[in-house]
Structure 1
Amino acid sequence: MPSKKISEQNSLQNAEDNPRFSLIPPGFRYPKWRFILPFITETISGTALVFMPALVARIIELFTIGDVQQAWIDITGLCLLVLFLSLNEKIGWGTCFRTIVMLERDWKLYAGSLVPRSSQAGDPGAIVAVINKDTRNVANTLQPLNQAFSSFAIAFFGTIQLWLLSPLLAVSGLGGMILTIVLLTRISKILEQRAEIFRDKIGISTSKASDIATSIRTIVGLGAGQTMLGRYRTSALDVRKAQLAYERVHSWQGAARVFLIGCTTTVTIALALRGHTLNGAWITSIDPSHLVTVSGVLAMMVGPIWAVEMFLLIYRDAKVAHRRIVGLEKRSEPTASLASQSHEHAGSSQPLPASFAQLRLNAETRRVVYINPRSVGLTAQEYAETLVEYLRVNSDNREEILLSEPNPMIFAGTLEDHLTSGPPALTIDEREEYLKLTDSLEIAHRLGGENPTDYWLAEISAEGTNLSGGQRQRLALARAYAQKKPVLVLTEPVNSVDEPSQQFIFNQLEKYAGNPGVLEHLREVYIISTTMEVDRRIARANQRQGE
């Protein structure tokens, strides 16, 4: 019994490490004809092409016996067949490529949708590599998949033609083909291992590049340019080494394919040339015109081997990519660990879940609750993350809760783009109100003048470099309001703002939160800050509660 349990556990672990490959992203549906039509057209093309050598042999034979008229009729048929196959390829490949583009787009959308749902999304560089590279690798599996499956028709009908000429030729050709594919499959498993390592190195190198791109001002200010470039150079060298190791296996795969195909072709042609000597001339057992069929069919049967090799190569890369996407999906699953363990925090002076429950009671009466995280020995960020996890665990809808970061990211674009970066559609009046509530109207005027038409189109630099720290925080707070989430957790939302503006912003929030207007959606607001203004408001609330 213990061994059986261990076996079951190992099976479950293997299933987690090697998730079932899926070409279609979860939640998306496509018409079945998009996948069936390319397969049918590819099969028709392969089947017709494998019969073309026999048609050419027939034309040669007709000319040899003097039936020129029938030969020209067959040539006309051959030309029509080529035109048909050209049109057939246009339809099939066009459909296939359009479907690949759709798959890649939807895989990107799916992977991108997982990132904001995750409290532990992972390394930014690795996420960028998943969205940009892995999604493409999975989608690109469709084309070689069609070619690999349609190649069975080529192998089948090619073997039949060889069998009709000589069973020995059929056994030799098909046996060599099967042996080659088995060996290529073995080598492709090693390729998958090398691809996994190569993909790891790409993620690390992308992260180093991402660090430099997003922190260039900090790097320059610290004089750390050479250090950061040195780290990136090291990671780039690691990528190169991993890629060379991958390509070495790939080159051996190509060499093995060529060697086995060459051996199979040589042996099969030698068997086809068997015969006897008559009057000093070598007479083959097979009619000379049929030798064209043998050589042509052998050449066509190389196609399935190449198609299977390409499929195995791309499929192994796609499996690695699919595991990366699934890994991102797992990290996006909700976890209660932080909230359930938060009461064990060494620096806490009181059980946090108990205090959180009290906070929610306070929020029911006051809407806006102020917290100084130092009272429980936490930083504002630690307290906010712990509180958010608690709220999400005890909430019917996790999507209702928005956590505002202490150092908000300001994206490049217009002021209108910044405020409308979330899903809700905002009217011009609503946008104006959010600016007023956060004392941000003067920022708009400084960026674009007094005319709303001008300042809504005013440009904000990447990371808000044309704004001060306080201006960035006020605009970030306006954007947080505009998301229209019922529960808002603000982490040091105005610690870089002057005290008069802090007082104005908090007064406006207390006045309008939950009341008719642009803040009526706010049911609970938690302001986690170590500023003096927050301490004064906490003291004032405690005094009122004591009375």
Structure 2
Amino acid sequence: MLIRDLPYADPGVPDVRSGPRLLLWLGRRQLRGQAKSLAWGTLHMASVASIPVAVGLAVQAVVDRSGERLALAAALLALIGVGATVGDTMLHRTAVSNWITAAARVQQLLARRTSALGATLTQRVAAGEVVAVSTGDIEKIGWCVESVSRFSAGVLVALCVCAGLIAYEPELGLLVAAGLLLLIAVVLPMLPRATRRADLQREKAGRATELAADTVAGLRVLRGIGGEELFLERYRGASQEVRRAAVRTARMWALIEAVQVALPGLLLIAVVWHGTGLAMDGRISVGELTTVYGAVTFLLFPLRLVQEFAMAYSFSRPSAARAARVLGLRRAVEGRGDGGAALVDPVAGDLHDPVAGLLAPAGRLTAVVCGDPDEAGRLAARLGGHDAGVEDGGSSGDGDGGDGNGGGGGDGAAVVRGSGAGTGRAGRGGTDAPGTARPAPPSVLLGGVPLDDVTLARARAAVLVQDKDPVLLSGTLRELLDVPASGRVPAHEALAAAQCGDVLDALRQGTPGLDGDPLEARVTERGRSLSGGQRQRLALARSLVTDPPVLVLDEPTSAVDSHTEARIADALRHVRAGRTTVVLTSSPLLLDRADHVVLVRDGRVAASGSHRELLGADPRYRAVVTRETDDELAEGTTHA
């Protein structure tokens, strides 16, 4: 695989059982590239290892006053120089290619997993951890993959040099071999300790990154409650822990470095001392002594590569473990076939949730009232086609997955299955007894077709879920609204329906030099320059532009004033005319304009009708909509 051929058409199915297994899988996927690097690395190392032979021949030629042999040694040295140069150049090229292609493969896998999980990803993994995996961890993984070929070439050539020394000059060769064995015996026990310290450093760095990302994401709220100093102190403490762990790790690697300098130095002294005695006794020539000395000096180079690989592996192992954890998250219905051929006309089909007993008639605006916001989020996710959880493909033990709401296309919860004692149900109240498995609930039906039986792409094309906290990506407003759409609702109409006039004014002011099309105004990251209500309306406009057959909105106007909310409610009926729309809300303004209103309590439909009918006939509905307290509700029931 060449860099110019990226991205991969298919990055493959990774082995996510553990971090080392993921690294091994990446290595197997690059066998051709690793073989090229090993070949060029062997050429480079062998050329460098041959330099002492040419130098020894040249020294002996000078001693013997042989011009012919000196010229031969010079030619050999020139040939070796060409081999070393070519080998080093191509080794660097192929090794960096392995690094980049491995990192690109992991990046594609992460992007594919993030796309498949949708908003449920951050319900199982902190957003900061996802950021850490997608940035620094990928680099560490690529470093490990890249260093394998150079490490393998160094070890191979080092073994050959040791064998050659023993055959060339047995006494000095055995002395060198004994010295290297002593060095290995001293250094190897130190590597696990250094690896553990590196693991601890990476873990603390990951926590600090998560804390920083979460703090930045909630900075507006923290300032509102005066909590920024508290979180700053927390981050300062986490940062100091990372610093102390990094110092301890550096001390360990410095000790290993010192041992790798001191012991080979003592070995060189011993070789020169003993070799000089042999030369003075006439048992070896000066050229042979020079060759042995040069070979011992060369052996320090592969030792450096061994240290580099140990460092790369120690730093990449926790990174690979985190990546494997994210890549191991699965939806319970993943891998389904395309039964979506039956989903011919989703516009004409009713949306039905068998679990809650909810029926949203096709082409109508249905409002759903839930007393519990979390319950509303789970219902919104289910209406998107899936539950609000994910399956952890790499974990074991009791599956106690978290709850949450699906978003950005309705990818929601699945059964949380572990490979250990038992199986739990996400959002369904606890775990089962060990050894038992609770079946997944029946799928939501669209036009009589279970959404679990169609592919994820078809399910998302049919049903779009906008959750309570939609994300706005940075870029121009035109880019934000450039989403897969039917083309029925143009951008200007969607913005007008969502009452985004003041949003456009704010974006114009925040974009210096903008005099023309307001769609060229820039939106900052996550729309941080806008208020909560402005971000909410901009996200609603994006959903209206998409114009899906079925649109599920979870509290789309919770952050806007009543006058704006009334205008949005009227415009929503107009823009979504003939389309199926489900709004989860407790706003009387939206409820009064709905074609059909449903009250959901404890996960089941408790009542249905028009807003005015339910307001007068059902005290439970009235309590939620009018925000009556329990005492007021009891008093009203007594008077009735």
TM-score, normalised relative to structure 1: 0.79
- Deviation, 1:415, is 0.7
In structure 1, distance between residues paired with 2:195 and 2:548: 44
After superposition, where does 1:68-107 map in structure 2 within 5 Å?
A: 68-107=67-106
Q: 1:193 to 1:367 in 2, by over 3 A?
A: farther
SS at match of 1:171: helix
Match in the other structure for 1:10: none
- Deviation, 1:441, is 6.5
Match in the other structure for 1:3: none
Match in the other structure for 1:314: 312
* Letter aligned with residue 23 of structure 2: S
Match in the other structure for 1:431: 491
After superposition, where does 1:23-422 map in structure 2 within 5 Å?
A: 33-118=32-117, 119=120, 120-275=123-278, 282-330=280-328, 332-334=329-331, 356-357=353-354, 362-366=359-363, 368-374=365-371, 380-385=376-381, 389-390=386-387, 394=443, 395-396=452-453, 397-399=455-457, 400-401=459-460, 402-420=464-482, 422=483
Q: Which of the pair is proportionally richer in helix?
A: 1
Partner deviation per Cα, 1:375-407 (whole Å, 9 max, x = no partner): x68554354356554476522334524432213
In structure 1, distance between residues paired with 2:542 and 2:263: 64
In structure 1, distance between residues paired with 2:586 and 2:610: 21
* Letter aligned with residue 320 of structure 1: P
SS at match of 1:411: coil
Partner deviation per Cα, 1:460-486 (whole Å, 9 max, x = no partner): 234435544433222202223455665
Q: 1:89 to 1:357 in 2, by over 3 A?
A: same
Q: 1:320 to 1:185 in 2, by over 3 A?
A: farther
Percentage of matched positions with identical amino acids: 20
Match in the other structure for 1:348: none
SS at match of 1:362: strand
- Deviation, 1:329, is 1.6
Is the Cα–Cα contact under 8 Å of residues 414 and 456 in structure 1 kept in the other structure? yes
Q: 1:115 to 1:245 in 2, by over 3 A?
A: farther
- Deviation, 1:49, is 1.5
* Letter aligned with residue 327 of structure 1: R
Q: 1:183 to 1:218 in 2, by over 3 A?
A: same
In structure 2, distance between residues paired with 1:236 and 1:472: 32
2:517 is aligned with 1:454: yes
2:564 is aligned with 1:502: no
* Letter aligned with residue 93 of structure 2: G
Which stretch has the larger CA shift, 261-270 or 17-26? 17-26
RMSD: 3.5
Which stretch has the larger CA shift, 247-256 or 360-369? 360-369
- Deviation, 1:364, is 4.9
* Letter aligned with residue 318 of structure 1: S
SS at match of 1:141: helix
Partner deviation per Cα, 1:355-377 (whole Å, 9 max, x = no partner): 93176762354554321111x68
Match in the other structure for 2:533: 470
SS at match of 2:235: helix
- Deviation, 1:413, is 2.2
In structure 2, distance between residues paired with 1:234 and 1:43: 47
Is the Cα–Cα contact under 8 Å of residues 489 and 575 in structure 2 kept in the other structure? no
Partner deviation per Cα, 1:61-94 (whole Å, 9 max, x = no partner): 2222222133124313312431342233222212
Is the Cα–Cα contact under 8 Å of residues 48 and 80 in structure 2 kept in the other structure? no
Is the Cα–Cα contact under 8 Å of residues 205 and 235 in structure 1 kept in the other structure? yes
Is the Cα–Cα contact under 8 Å of residues 192 and 316 in structure 1 kept in the other structure? yes
Is the Cα–Cα contact under 8 Å of residues 62 and 71 in structure 1 kept in the other structure? yes
In structure 1, distance between residues paired with 2:572 and 2:374: 23
In structure 2, distance between residues paired with 1:206 and 1:187: 29
Match in the other structure for 2:637: none
SS at match of 1:115: helix
In structure 1, distance between residues paired with 2:529 and 2:253: 50
In structure 2, distance between residues paired with 1:236 and 1:446: 36
In structure 1, distance between residues paired with 2:497 and 2:357: 24
In structure 1, distance between residues paired with 2:110 and 2:250: 28
Partner deviation per Cα, 1:398-439 (whole Å, 9 max, x = no partner): 45244322133333321112112x5x3787974345435544
After superposition, where does 1:516-531 map in structure 2 within 5 Å?
A: 525-531=581-587
In structure 1, distance between residues paired with 2:160 and 2:375: 72
SS at match of 1:511: coil
In structure 2, distance between residues paired with 1:86 and 1:356: 68
Q: 1:378 to 1:204 in 2, by over 3 A?
A: closer
Tell me the number of residue pairs that the alignment of Structure 1 and Structure 2 aligns.
493
Match in the other structure for 1:351: none
Partner deviation per Cα, 1:328-351 (whole Å, 9 max, x = no partner): 122x31259xxxxxxxxxxxxxxx
Q: 1:381 to 1:167 in 2, by over 3 A?
A: same
Partner deviation per Cα, 1:431-468 (whole Å, 9 max, x = no partner): 3454355444775477559x996111012234435544
Is the Cα–Cα contact under 8 Å of residues 36 and 94 in structure 2 kept in the other structure? yes
- Deviation, 1:171, is 2.5
Out of 515, 529, 533, the residue aligned to residue 589 of structure 2 is 533
- Deviation, 1:137, is 0.4
TM-score, normalised relative to structure 2: 0.68
- Deviation, 1:167, is 2.0
Is the Cα–Cα contact under 8 Å of residues 109 and 327 in structure 2 kept in the other structure? no
- Deviation, 1:43, is 0.3
* Letter aligned with residue 500 of structure 1: A
Match in the other structure for 1:352: none
Is the Cα–Cα contact under 8 Å of residues 113 and 327 in structure 2 kept in the other structure? yes
In structure 2, distance between residues paired with 1:361 and 1:230: 48
SS at match of 2:176: helix
* Letter aligned with residue 87 of structure 2: N
Q: 1:201 to 1:430 in 2, by over 3 A?
A: same
In structure 1, distance between residues paired with 2:35 and 2:159: 20
Q: Which runs of 5+ in 2 are unaligned?
A: 1-15, 334-351, 388-411, 415-442, 444-451, 598-607, 614-640
In structure 1, distance between residues paired with 2:486 and 2:479: 11
- Deviation, 1:326, is 0.5
In structure 2, distance between residues paired with 1:249 and 1:492: 54
Is the Cα–Cα contact under 8 Å of residues 353 and 359 in structure 2 kept in the other structure? no
